[in-house]
Structure 1
Amino acid sequence: MTSHLTTRAEHKRQYREQPRQAGIYLIRNTVSDRVLLGSSMNLHGPLNRHRFLLSIGGHPNRALQDDWRRLGPDAFEFTIAEVVAPQDAEAGPHEDELAFLEDLWLERTAPLGERSYNLHPRIRDT
């Protein structure tokens, strides 16, 4: 029988060993179609962080947090919109390719309008 701690440790190990994907993500309010556009060299990190902060009521984006509290988590979609193709398996994606994708998605979605949760044009998560 596997203990809870062993299972948790195994999940952590598997998460660390996953290849990291760089790209663009969206958090979309399915009721209003309002969107938070973001990018990262490790897509799963920011998506998990946003979900966690929203779930505990501590997200720094007040409009997003207020809508989450009012509408509930089922009213939101967390989507990986586009992934940077790695140059090779060991090197992973390059930051300049991600910057190019950021520019394309900023043009495509105009993330500072009324249908956006973005507060400024910098969308890259660290």
Structure 2
Amino acid sequence: MKTPMGVFQIKNISNNKVLIDNSIDMVSKWNRHKMELKFGNHRNNNLQKDWNEYGADNFVFEVLSELKKKDEENINYQKELKILQEFVIEELNIENTY
């Protein structure tokens, strides 16, 4: 089973702040973010503060762009995802970030 890779956001629907991130396995990365937030030790202190204040129900996970696996070998997907993330931030004019 292939796991989706791409760029996603964690959005606080109360204040519209977002954390933009990317991963070759978005499901696992989202689960890691949720666990860190749940246990109160997320590396982004501002996101953690808002999570504690607003609660988990005020946050949504949204895929912004998926990157499809290519048939070519030796592709640096980490680098491709970083470029895609920068493009998405610029294209969507995202400013209200954590």
Shorter-chain TM range is 0.7 to 0.9
Query: Which SS does the other structure have where 1:54 is aligned?
Result: helix
Q: Which runs of 5+ in 2 are unaligned?
A: none
Other-structure match for 2:69: 86
Other-structure match for 1:73: 56
Other-structure match for 1:49: 32
The alpha-carbon deviation at position 77 of structure 1 amounts to 0.4
Other-structure match for 1:120: none
Percent identity (aligned): 28
1:80-126 deviation line (CA, Å, top 9, x unaligned): 221112224xx7x8625434422311313455x4x111xxxxxxxxx
Question: What TM-score do you get using the length of structure 2 for normalisation?
Answer: 0.83
Opposite residue 72 of structure 1, the aligned amino acid is G
Instruction: Note if 1:116 corresponds to 2:82.
Output: no
Instruction: Note if 1:30 corresponds to 2:13.
Output: yes
Cα distance in 2 for residues equivalent to 1:55 and 1:40: 20
More strand by share: 2
- Equivalent pairs, count: 96
Cα distance in 2 for residues equivalent to 1:99 and 1:55: 26
1:14-42 deviation line (CA, Å, top 9, x unaligned): xxxx3122100100000100000001111
Cα distance in 1 for residues equivalent to 2:32 and 2:65: 19
Larger radius of gyration: 1
Cα distance in 1 for residues equivalent to 2:92 and 2:18: 9
Cα distance in 2 for residues equivalent to 1:74 and 1:103: 28
> Per the alignment, do residues 85 and 76 of structure 1 end up closer, same or farther by CA in structure 2, a change over 3 Å counting?
same
Q: Is the 8 A contact 2:64 2:88 kept in 1?
A: no
In the TM superposition, structure 1's runs of 4+ consecutive aligned residues that sit over 4 Å from their partners are none
